[in-house]
Amino acid sequence: MSKVCQLTGKRPIVGNNVSHSNRKTKRRFLPNLQKKRFFIPETDQWVTLKVCTSAMRTISKLGIYEYLTRLEKEGVDTGVILEQGS
């Protein structure tokens, strides 16, 4: 299972653990990913996304439909097909 946010594209980055004696060993900084179901009332559908918590904050501010349409205009592939419901 890849550790990449579907909406923002955040992925693990590499850094160092630095001990008290200043010895450095490699480590990974993982994004805070959560698997979450969202309901899109405009299209009357549920979508399950693996998103980071910073994307969840943006979704709660803008709304899931608005956020997905903005990403679609920017050319980001989210894996969500926004079809208008009847």
Q: What whole-number percentage of the chain has pLDDT above 70?
A: 95
Q: Report if residue 54 sits inside a domain.
A: yes
pLDDT tens-digit map of 39-62: 999 999 999 999 999 999 999 999
pLDDT at 86 over 90: no
pTM of the full structure: 0.84
Indicate the average pLDDT of the chain: 93
Of 52, 86, 48, 84, nearest in space to 69 by CA = 84
5: exposed, middle or buried (Cβ count in 10 Å: 0-12, 13-18, 19+): buried
What's the number of domains the chain is made of?
1
CATH of the domain at 24: 2.30.170.40
The pLDDT value given to residue 1:
66
**Residue 82 within any structural domain of the chain:** no
Residue 46 in any domain: the answer is yes
- Domain range for 58: 13-74
